[in-house]
Copies of this chain bind each other. A is one copy, B any other.
Amino acid sequence: MPPNPPSAPSKQLHTFDNPAPERDYLIQFQVPEFTCHCPLTGQPDFAHFTIDMICDRLCVELKSLKMYFWSYRDEGAFHEKVTNTILSDIVKVTQPRYIRITAKWYVRGGIYTNVVVEHRKKGWKPAPVVDLPSLPVERGLLG
């Protein structure tokens, strides 16, 4: 069985046309396989990234997103800085109406660090939200 065609880490993010630009709708990606290293000590860092975005004309192509995240594997990066950089890179190629990135970093020195960054397009406003009642948790039997 031959391997997949060779692929490689890349800072190049691909896009495709938003199939429903007439609506504000949410696309969420969860990327549990992020790693970079600490610029001071060189030791590896790990994180789980969540991207919530409302696209405008362009969507992010999934495979290029995977290779973009891979591209950080050999780079040094501070927690607060890298989360902001990734936000800026996705904003640059897709110009989304809204994007929020959440990075949850593995524990260091007994302390857990999470970083949440967002960007919204100038002039864009979210439609007033329709709050639906949350369903109560039910349980009728014993554990």
B-side contacts of A118, CB under 8 Å: 23, 25, 130, 133
Digitize A86-98: 1 where CB-to-B-CB distance is under 8 Å, 0 elsewhere. Answer: 0000000000001
A57 within 8 A of B: no
| Contact call A141/B109, Cβ cutoff below 8 A | no
A126 within 8 A of B: yes
The residue of chain B having its C-beta at the shortest distance from the C-beta of A139 within the complex is B143
Interface size grouping (class) on chain A: 35 or more
List 18 contacting pairs A-B, 8 Å CB cutoff, sorted by A: A1-B14, A4-B5, A19-B80, A25-B118, A26-B116, A27-B115, A30-B111, A30-B143, A52-B132, A52-B136, A62-B108, A98-B130, A104-B142, A112-B142, A116-B133, A120-B130, A135-B143, A137-B143
